[in-house]
């Protein structure tokens, strides 16, 4: 029974290692939006 | 044992719930920002049609004022809070997208000037805030947090430094409250002073980027003056933000040498961890725009996307500013912060005037 919490802790550690900061998420989302605009999926963004 | 077994069963649900929980608050940000945009378009026209004299108030100010009204009267209900907190995310995404409106040459030219001014501003601000903290007999770590908050980038710098120098929660909440209150004050006073002194867009943008602490408030204070001033304020503020890692590392080394914080082992990793990644995103989009990766229409679309992201940010700035909560933190950090900020605002204005004389703005 003790193996389950350990493997779970390892999974959490691995998850934290790959967890992006808010900063990085903002960059990823903005770059993705820019690529969608470049690909012509969003042709016109009104203001 | 039952407790141990139940935790993994609950965990998979949490991330999904976390994302769903932000939806009401994001919708509130959008509603307030959009209401600000509608007010900008309609109030001026209505006043004109009725022959009233009414100043042209931009959506930036409407969104902030609407947010302030809600936050300081009815308050922000719990259901909206996690979504309202995403305004930092929209701010950073907006700055990255704003990179499409800068040519790399402009960034290198303006960035070079602003880098020199930022270095002087950071050194001067840290020295003065440290002197002020000692004169007012504040706790040394509280003084460090206030110095970093006013010299580099407000709340983010305080949070980054808190972990590195092992300051306690009370010290960081004191500093954050002072920096937020003074940021709200700067938001309304900087544009008035700028107009009073007839500052050019360039001079004002530089001043807002150098003198206003929080990135959201600096962006809003710039946009309140003009679009061009807003763009420059973001560029200068991002240059300041890029310095955060070096300043926090210096403080961490200082406190570790006194045996009051952990020694920093891997310094390059520490710098990378603290470095604001949105500055890299901003530069990347600017490089792509400079080398023709986007057409003219696509640059226009990206600029509009950036405006939408800022719209949510400005609504969030108003919603998260609660004067009653700030009053609870006590007057002492405000006194030190206020004296420091007034002196830093005057000092940075002098820097901008000096740079204007040298570069002929």
Segment B36-90, tens digit of pLDDT: 999 988 887 787 787 776 667 778 888 888 998 999 898 899 999 999 999 889 9
Say which residue, B272 or B170, is predicted with more confidence: B272
Please give the average per-residue pLDDT across B141-168, as a whole number.
82
Which 3 state secondary structure label does DSSP give B264? coil
Under 8 Å between Cβ of B308 and A33: no
Smallest Cα distance from A20 to chain B, Å? 11
Looking at the domain assignment, is residue A24 inside a domain? Answer: yes
From chain B, the residues in CB contact with A15 under 8 A are: none
What is the crossing angle of helices B2-10 and A3-17, to 10°? 30
Does position B161 have pLDDT exceeding 70, yes or no?
yes
* Alpha helix stretches (DSSP H) within chain B: 2-10, 13-21, 23-49, 59-72, 78-84, 87-98, 104-135, 140-151, 154-165, 169-196, 201-211, 215-225, 227-242, 244-257, 267-274, 277-290, 296-320, 323-327, 332-359
Best of B33, B272, B278, B299 to disrupt the A interface (most A CBs within 10 Å) is B278
Looking at the domain assignment, is residue A10 inside a domain? Answer: no
Pairwise CA distance, residues B29 & B321, whole Å: 14
Q: Residue B347, class by beta-carbon neighbours within 10 Å (0-12 exposed, 13-18 middle, 19+ buried)?
A: middle
The minimal CB distance from A27 to the residues B280, B305, B308 is found for: B280
Pairwise CA distance, residues B113 & B73, whole Å: 43
| pLDDT classification of B336: cutoffs 50, 70, 90 | confident
Looking at the domain assignment, is residue A4 inside a domain? Answer: no
Looking at the domain assignment, is residue B14 inside a domain? Answer: no
What residues have CB less than 8 Å from B174, skipping those under 6 apart? Answer: B142, B145, B329, B330, B332, B333
Domain containing B154 equals 23-359
Please give the average per-residue pLDDT across B148-159, as a whole number.
81
B4 touches chain A (CB under 8 A): yes
From chain B, the residues in CB contact with A27 under 8 A are: 92-93, 96, 277-278, 280-281
Q: Considering its fold, how many domains does chain A have in total?
A: 1
b (16+ CB within 10 A) / e for B51-81:
eeeeeeebbbbbbbbbbbebbeeeebeeebb
Looking at the domain assignment, is residue A9 inside a domain? Answer: no
Which 3 state secondary structure label does DSSP give B2? helix
pLDDT on residue B128: 92
Q: How many residues does chain B have?
A: 361
Please give the average per-residue pLDDT across B115-120, as a whole number.
89
Looking at the domain assignment, is residue A13 inside a domain? Answer: no
Looking at the domain assignment, is residue B200 inside a domain? Answer: yes
Looking at the domain assignment, is residue B212 inside a domain? Answer: yes
Looking at the domain assignment, is residue A25 inside a domain? Answer: yes
Does position B310 have pLDDT exceeding 60, yes or no?
yes
Domain containing A27 equals 20-47
The minimal CB distance from A30 to the residues B8, B93, B293 is found for: B93
Best of A2, A4, A27 to disrupt the B interface (most B CBs within 10 Å) is A27
pTM: 0.76
Looking at the domain assignment, is residue A40 inside a domain? Answer: yes
The minimal CB distance from B8 to the residues A1, A8, A44 is found for: A8
> Residue B278 corresponds to which tokens in the numbers above?
């949105």
Pairwise CA distance, residues B304 & B36, whole Å: 16
Looking at the domain assignment, is residue B6 inside a domain? Answer: no
Residue of chain B minimizing CA distance to A25: B89
Smallest Cα distance from B198 to chain A, Å? 29
Question: What is the number of helices (H) and of strands (E) in chain A?
Answer: 2, 0
pLDDT on residue B341: 87
From chain A, the residues in CB contact with B91 under 8 A are: 26
Pairwise CA distance, residues B295 & B303, whole Å: 12
Looking at the domain assignment, is residue A32 inside a domain? Answer: yes
The minimal CB distance from B301 to the residues A1, A30, A45 is found for: A45
B92 touches chain A (CB under 8 A): yes
Looking at the domain assignment, is residue B7 inside a domain? Answer: no
Nearest in space to B118 (alpha carbons), one of B201, B210, B189: B210
Pairwise CA distance, residues B164 & B245, whole Å: 11
Angle among Cα B218, B114, B315 to the nearest 5 degrees reads 15
Looking at the domain assignment, is residue B347 inside a domain? Answer: yes
A47 touches chain B (CB under 8 A): yes
Per-residue model confidence as pLDDT tens digits over B208-236:
999 998 888 899 999 999 989 998 999 89
Under 8 Å between Cβ of B219 and B310: yes
Share of chain B above pLDDT 70, in %: 93
Q: Considering its fold, how many domains does chain B have in total?
A: 1
């Amino acid at each position: 029974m003790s193996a389950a919490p350990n493997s779970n802790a390892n999974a959490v550690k691995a998850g934290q290692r790959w967890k992006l900061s808010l900063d990085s998420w903002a960059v990823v989302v903005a770059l993705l939006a820019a690529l969608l605009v470049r690909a012509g999926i969003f042709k016109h963004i009104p203001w | 044992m039952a407790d141990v077994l139940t935790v993994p069963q609950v965990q998979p649900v949490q991330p999904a719930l976390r994302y769903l929980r932000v939806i009401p608050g994001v919708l509130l940000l959008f509603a307030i920002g959009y209401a600000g945009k509608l007010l900008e378009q309609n109030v001026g026209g209505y006043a004109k049609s009725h022959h009233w004299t009414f100043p042209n108030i931009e959506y930036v100010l409407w969104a902030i004022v609407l947010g302030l009204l809600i936050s300081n009267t009815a308050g922000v209900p719990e259901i909206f809070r996690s979504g309202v907190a995403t305004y930092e995310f929209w701010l950073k995404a907006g700055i990255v997208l704003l990179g499409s409106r800068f040519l790399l040459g402009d960034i290198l030219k303006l960035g070079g000037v602003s880098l020199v001014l930022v270095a002087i501003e950071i050194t001067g601000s840290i020295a003065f805030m440290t002197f002020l903290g000692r004169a007012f007999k504040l706790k040394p770590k509280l003084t460090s947090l206030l110095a970093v908050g006013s010299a580099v980038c407000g709340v983010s710098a305080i949070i980054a430094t808190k972990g590195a120098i092992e300051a306690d929660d009370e010290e960081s909440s004191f500093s954050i409250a002072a920096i937020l209150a003074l940021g709200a004050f700067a938001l309304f006073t900087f544009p008035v002073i700028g107009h009073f002194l007839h500052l050019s867009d360039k001079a004002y943008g530089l001043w807002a980027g150098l003198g206003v602490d929080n990135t959201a408030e600096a962006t809003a204070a710039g946009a309140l003056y003009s679009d061009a001033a807003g763009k420059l304020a973001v560029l200068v503020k991002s240059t300041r933000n890029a310095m955060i890692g070096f300043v926090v590392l210096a403080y961490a080394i200082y406190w570790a040498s006194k045996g009051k914080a952990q020694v920093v082992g891997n310094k390059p990793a520490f710098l990378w961890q603290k470095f604001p990644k949105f500055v890299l995103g901003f530069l990347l989009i600017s490089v792509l725009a400079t080398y023709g990766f986007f057409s003219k229409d696509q640059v226009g679309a990206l600029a509009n996307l950036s405006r939408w992201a800022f719209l949510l940010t400005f609504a969030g700035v108003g919603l998260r500013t609660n004067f009653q909560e700030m009053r609870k933190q006590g007057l002492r950090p405000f006194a030190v912060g206020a004296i420091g900020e007034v002196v830093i605002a005057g000092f940075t204005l002098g820097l901008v005037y000096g740079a204007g004389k040298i570069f002929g703005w």
